Each structure stands twice: as C-alpha cells, then as structure tokens.
A = this chain, B = another copy of it.
C-alpha cells in the first residue's frame, strides 16, 4: 500500500502539505517476530503498515493479552507515548515479515504547529482511531463472545487465515478453549 493512499485515506491533503508530510516518512522492513514498539517505554516513532500484519499485546500475569491487530494501511503507535509522552502499555509484534512507513513523532508535532492542513490531518487520525476503539468497546460491552467471533468472521475474514487462534481468542476476550468450543458449536 502506498503512503500517499494511506495519508489521503485519513484526510485528503493539498499537494504541498502532503509533500511536507511525506518528507518525514522513511521506509523500513523487519522480519516476523520483531518487536516494533515496546511496552513500558516512551516510543518516539509511529508507523503505517505498507505490507504485513501485526498485533499489540500486554503481558498480564502469566499470559499475554492481544488487544489489537494491524493490517495494511493501519497506523501503528503507542497511544500513551504519542499522546501523553508516557510509557506505553503494549508490545507490538510483527506476525509476518513487514514493510512499514516510519515517522518520528517529533517531526510530526512540528508539522502540526506549522501547517493547518496537517494539524487537521492529525486530528482526523486521532478521531478515526477513537471511533474504531469505541466500536470495539461497545461490541465488547454488548455482545457475547459467540457474537463477537461471528462479527470478526464477517468483518475480517482474512485475519483468521493470517493469525493463530490463540491470539484471536485473547483479542475476543476469551480463552483459547472457549474459542474452540464456540467454533465447534457453529460448525
């Protein structure tokens, strides 16, 4: 996926603003298993996924809890680092070899202060992420695990092909055993 598409997908920018933003972007690539962002660290870069799939998870007691998957075009950042300049909750692990667009948040912040189009682009980015988080929150609050699994199949069928079920289970907020049960019932 091209950075231009990703940027304009958030908020279409006039050519000059887009050039300024794109000038901050560098391409990087890491192998499957690489930890892109670390929990308990103030991260100074954010990414967009050009190619590949990643997950965000937290260690909690013995087991890790996956709470987000990112795919092509998605932004990857520690919100806690990005917004509050504080240590993040999550590790972000590459589930496939990935190509990424990298931006230093310090550069981005400078542009936010200089270019009103980019400031509104950044606003839009946060707003869209907020919508997604809210939707998942409400889905979690209102629907049963079975409904959430069916919803996931509907909306992200590709994910099931690319991610192992243990991660999916913890993403849905249930154990792998529960997910197995649900899958058996549906069949």
In whole angstroms, how far apart are the Cα atoms of A50 and B89 in the complex? 32
In whole angstroms, how far apart are the Cα atoms of A39 and B116 in the complex? 33
| B138 lies within 8 A of A58 (CB) | yes
Q: Counting chain B CB atoms within 10 Å of each CB, which of A84, A89, A115, A138 scores highest?
A: A138
**Copies of this chain, whole number:** 2
A126 touching B137 in the complex, CB below 8 Å, given contacts A58-B142, A119-B119: no
| A131 lies within 8 A of B83 (CB) | yes
**A123 partner residues in chain B, CB cutoff 8 A:** 112, 119-120, 122-123, 126
In whole angstroms, how far apart are the Cα atoms of A65 and B141 in the complex? 8
| A126 lies within 8 A of B130 (CB) | yes
Judge if A136 is at the interface, Cβ distance under 8 Å: yes
In whole angstroms, how far apart are the Cα atoms of A174 and B162 in the complex? 33
